Amino acid sequence: MIQRIQTLYLILATGISAGLIFVFHLWSNDESVNIFALDNYTCLCLFLGSALLSLISIFSFKNRKSQFVLGRLNIILNFILLVIFVTQSLNLSGETNVSENGIGMLLPIFSIVCLVLANKAIKKDEDLVKSVDRLR
């Protein structure tokens, strides 16, 4: 159901996780070579897993509880990705030649914000359905 706001948030999170990883680089090494998610298979798998979880969550709109759980799993997956980026960033800053962090390292944060907003809207829908069931 595309008219629900959480679906739009989930589509945005899917676009961030699956589309923008090919546009923005994650970091630059000491030879000024930009490293994208395609160059690091762990990051690529986690980004694509996050996008897949968002898509599955979009199409499970009839079961709001599973949609909410999938959103939480997706948030945890993005936090794992963020931890990987932080440890990579700390390793890069200790080099003799200075490396640059790219804007791609912020993509999990934007995805987490979209997923939290989607989970908030899912919870709001679930509470609305429960209140209507109480009136019957």
> Is 131 a member of any domain?
no
Distance between CA 43 and CA 78 in Å, rounded? 10
Give the range of the structural domain holding residue 50, as residue numbers without chain letter. Answer: 5-126
Mean predicted lDDT score pLDDT of the chain: 85
Over residues 10-37, the pLDDT tens digits come to 999 999 999 888 888 777 776 777 777 7
Segment 87-115 shows an average pLDDT of 75
Burial class (CB in 10 A: 0-12, 13-18, 19+), 44: middle
> Is 59 a member of any domain?
yes
Q: How many domains does the chain have?
A: 1
> Is 135 a member of any domain?
no
> Is 133 a member of any domain?
no
> Is 136 a member of any domain?
no
> Is 78 a member of any domain?
yes
pTM of the model: 0.86
> Is 134 a member of any domain?
no
